[in-house]
């Protein structure tokens, strides 16, 4: 009986040790997976940037302190999308703007302004229809466009209006 009790204690001890070792391995694997996910997220290029009025005043233009002159505060050209969550055309261009934000991450910013949350900002720019897009080149006045544009029109505007590249000639 003593041998049986000793055997049971030994087996239970081994099972406990095995369980702790297995749990430790699972925790280490989970930690590795989380680190890999973090690294992948860090490598992902920047998408569109949602702005509040306060952020807009710091990053785009401080129209409250300088109401008569457009002085863009950014360090690279921008597209500003005035949108609303309920707007069908806004929903159509949202994925296009995300793609373009990643594609041109090093060259332009793509900002998004929710007109429902930032009513003062929308009013300041006279936004009456959405989507309204503001193309902001460096050192020049912005250009406004309304409605859902196709991706090729966005790319053409980015290349010619914002980045000042010559349009590709059709042959």
Residue positions annotated with a catalytic role: 87, 90
Question: Contacts by 59-63 with C-beta closer than 8 Å and gap 24+?
Answer: 59/111, 60/111, 60/136, 63/124
| DSSP 3-state of 60 | coil
Residues with Cβ within 8 Å of 161's Cβ and at least 6 positions away in sequence, in order, are 135, 137, 143
Q: Rounded to an integer, what distance in angstroms lies between the CA atom of residue 145 and that of residue 167?
A: 19
Question: Measured between alpha carbons, how far is residue 124 from residues 44, 67, 71, 147 in Å?
Answer: 34, 10, 15, 19
SS3 144: strand
């Amino acid at each position: 009986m003593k041998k049986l009790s000793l055997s049971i204690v030994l087996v239970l001890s081994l099972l406990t040790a095995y369980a702790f070792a297995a749990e430790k391995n699972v925790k280490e694997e989970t930690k590795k997976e989380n680190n890999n996910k973090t690294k992948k997220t860090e490598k992902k290029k920047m998408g569109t940037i949602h702005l509040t009025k306060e952020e807009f005043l710091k990053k785009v233009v401080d129209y409250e302190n300088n109401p008569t002159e457009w002085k863009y505060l950014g360090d690279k050209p921008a597209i500003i999308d005035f949108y609303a969550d309920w707007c069908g055309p806004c929903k159509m261009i949202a994925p296009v703007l995300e793609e373009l934000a990643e594609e041109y991450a090093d060259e332009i910013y793509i900002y998004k302004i929710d007109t429902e949350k930032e009513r003062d900002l929308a009013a300041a720019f006279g936004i009456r229809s959405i989507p309204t897009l503001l193309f902001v080149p460096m050192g020049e006045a912005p250009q406004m466009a309304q409605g859902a544009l196709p991706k090729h029109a966005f790319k053409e505007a980015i290349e010619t209006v914002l980045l000042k590249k010559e349009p590709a000639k059709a042959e």
